[in-house]
Amino acid sequence: MNNYNYHPIISIITVNFNGKRFLKDLFNSIAGLEYPRERIQTIMVDNGSKDNSCDFVRENFPWVNILRLDRNYGYSSGNNEGFKIADGEFIALINNDCIVEKKWLSELVNAAVDNVAADKKADKKNCQKFGAVCPKVLFFHSYLPLEFSIDKANAKISNVKIKSKSLENNRSAVKLNESIKYLKGFLPVSRDNIGYLSSWTFSKNSLIAIPVFSKNPGFTLEFEIISEFNSSKFEIFIINPEDNENRRVKKVHECVLKDGLNNVCINFNDNLEAYSKDIINSCGLEINRNFYARDRGFNSFDDSQFVNTEEIFSPSGSSMLINRALLDEVGYFDRDFFTYYEDLDLFWRARLKGWKVYFTPYSVVRHYHCGTGREWSYSFTYHVLRNRLIAIFKSGWWFLFFKNCFSFFVSILAGISQYLYSILRGKKQDRPDIRVRLRVFFELFYWLPKKLFYRIMNRRAAVIKDREIKKWFKNF
C-alpha cells in the first residue's frame, strides 16, 4: 500500500562531534530529499565540537536548528537532547558521516504508515505496535572486487602497503586505505598507524575490494608479497561476485613470484564503474544467544539478498525512523551508554513492551562507518564490552546474565594466563584487551546496583515473554 499522500512532520536529528568534514555532504543530501520541505524539522546536536562545525552549518545551512552542548556527551545523550526539542510525529536519526538518497525519508515514512495500519488491523488489543524502521545502509563508496589467486596456497604476506597515487576523495578527508575491504582469506588483518595493511596471510583465492571514485577512476595499486615458494603463479582478477559460473570478469595482473620479496604495482586507468559493486554496512541488527549483536549483511556485496520489508530485532544506530509514541512509553536511549549498544538496549526494552521494528530495502543511506570513531580502538572495545553486559542485566533473564558474566570472567583469566606465559617464554606481548576487560569487570560493581531499578521496571512492564525474544537468536 502506498501512502505518499500522507506526510507527517518528521524531525531529523544528527549528533555531531568534530565532524565538520562530513556535514556539507550530509545536509546537501537532506536538502535534496523528495519530501515536503515544510514537513521536515532538521536538528544538529553538537557535542562541544572544536572544529567550527556550528559556525559552518549556521552559515551554509541556516534551516538547520543547532543545539550546542558544552562538551561531548556521546551518541545517546546527544540524541536524547534532540528528542526533547523534536516536534515530529516520527523522528529520523542519521549519523553525521552519512549521506541519504532522495527517497530515504519518504520510503521510511511509507514503511512506517503501512506497518502502523497492518498492526492495528492484525492486533485489536494493540499488543504489537509499530516502533521503528531502518533503511539499507551501504558503505559510502562502490567497490571494485578483486580476486588474488596463487597456485600454491598459504603464501605469506607481510609489510603490505596498498596506496593510491591518483585517487583522491573529493567529498571528505577519509583516507583511502581505511576504506579498503579485506573480505576473504586475509588473516589476520592488522594496520599500521597510517592505515596500511602491515601483516596477513592469504589462501589460494582471496578477495579484496577497492573503493571506486566515479569522478576519478584511475588509480595505482601497490603492495609487497613474500612468497615461500619459487615460481608461484600469481594472478589478479576483477570478479562479479553475483555470477558463480562466470565469476572472473577480467584479468588485470599476472606474474611469477620468486622466492622472497616481490613488489607488485598495477595501474587501473579504465572507467571502473561498470565493474564496481556496493557493499552493505547494515540492514538492521541481529543477535545470537549470548546477545552479541551484528549488522545484517555486513561486508557482503549488495546482490539483492535483502529485497523485502521485514521485521527485525533492532535497527542500527546509523539511521532509523522512530515512532514518537515509542519514546513516550519506553523512554530514551540510556544516557550512560556513551556509544555502542544503545540501539539494542532501547529496542530490547521496546520489544518487551510489544513494539515492533522493521527494515525496508527501498530506503538507502551511504555511510563512511567509523568516520568519527575508530573501530576496535580502546574506547570502542571498552564501550562494547561494558554496554552489552549492562544491557543484558537491564532486560534479560537471570541465566543469560550469569552465563555471560561467567564467560567474561573466564576470558579475563585466559588473557592473563596467556600474557604471563608469554613473559615466561621471553616473548612479552602487548595486551591492551586485558586492561580493558579488567576495567569493565571492576566497573560492573558500580553499574549493576545503579541499573537494578531499571531492570525491575523493564521486567515488570514486559508484555512479551522471553521465549519470543529467543526466536530472534541467530547462529554466529
Task: Identify the domain boundary among 320, 344, 373.
Answer: 373
**Residue 180 domain boundaries:** 142-212+219-268
Q: What is the CATH number of the domain that holds 293?
A: 3.90.550.10
**pLDDT on residue 65:** 98
**Residue 275 to residue 109: CA distance in whole angstroms:** 33
Compute the distance between CA of residue 63 and CA of residue 52 in angstroms, rounded to an integer.
Answer: 17
* Residue 275 phi, psi dihedral angles, 5° rounding: -100, -10
* Separation of CA 124 from chain center: 36
pLDDT (tens, 9 = 90+) of the chain, 476 residues, equals 445 578 999 999 999 999 999 999 999 999 999 999 999 999 999 999 999 999 999 999 999 999 999 999 999 999 999 999 999 999 999 999 999 999 999 999 999 998 876 666 655 454 469 999 999 999 998 999 999 888 765 566 655 555 654 444 444 334 566 778 888 887 665 555 544 555 555 567 888 898 887 655 567 888 878 776 667 788 999 999 888 778 899 999 998 888 878 888 888 877 778 889 999 999 999 999 999 999 999 999 998 899 999 999 999 999 999 999 999 999 999 999 998 999 999 999 999 999 999 999 999 999 987 645 555 678 889 999 999 999 999 999 999 999 999 999 999 999 999 889 888 888 777 788 899 999 999 999 999 999 999 999 999 999 999 999 999 999 99
Q: Are residues 169 and 97 in the same domain?
A: no
Q: Across-strand partners of 253?
A: 236
- Identify whether residues 294 and 360 lie together within a single domain: yes
Query: Does residue 424 sit in the same domain as residue 394?
Result: yes
Cα angle 341, 345, 347 (rounded to 5 degrees) comes to 120
| DSSP-derived secondary structure for 171-196 | S----GGGG-EEEES-EEEEE-TTS-
Whether residues 60 and 96 fall in one domain: yes
Which among 326, 354, 373 is the end of a domain? 373
What's this model's pTM, rounded to 2 decimal places?
A: 0.89
Output the nine-digit C-alpha cell for 407: 564467560
Tell me: do 308 and 199 sit in the same domain: no
Same domain, 254 and 192: yes
Instruction: Give the CA angle between residues 112, 118, 121 to the nearest 5°.
Output: 140
In a domain, 187, yes or no: yes
Residue that finishes a domain, picked among 332, 347, 373: 373
168 and 119: one domain? no
Residue 102 DSSP label: T
The answer to whether 331 and 350 have CB atoms below 8 angstroms apart is no
Based on the domain organization, do 264 and 325 belong to the same domain?
Answer: no
Q: Which CA distances in Å does 174 have to 26, 45, 94, 171, 189?
A: 15, 22, 19, 9, 20
Does residue 425 sit within a domain? yes
Tell me what pLDDT residue 184 has: 85
Cis peptide before 449 (omega within 30 of 0): no
Q: CA angle 245-247-251, nearest 5°?
A: 135
In a domain, 132, yes or no: yes
Q: Which residues contact 270 (CB under 8 A, 6 or more apart)?
A: 217, 218
Element (H, E) at 286: strand 285-287
Q: Are strands 10-16 and 90-94 parallel, antiparallel or unpaired?
A: parallel
Count how many domains the chain has: 3
DSSP letters for 311-335: EESB--TTEEEEEHHHHHHH----T
CA atoms of 373 and 228, how far apart (whole Å): 38
Q: Can you read off the three cell numbers belonging to residue 425?
A: 617464554
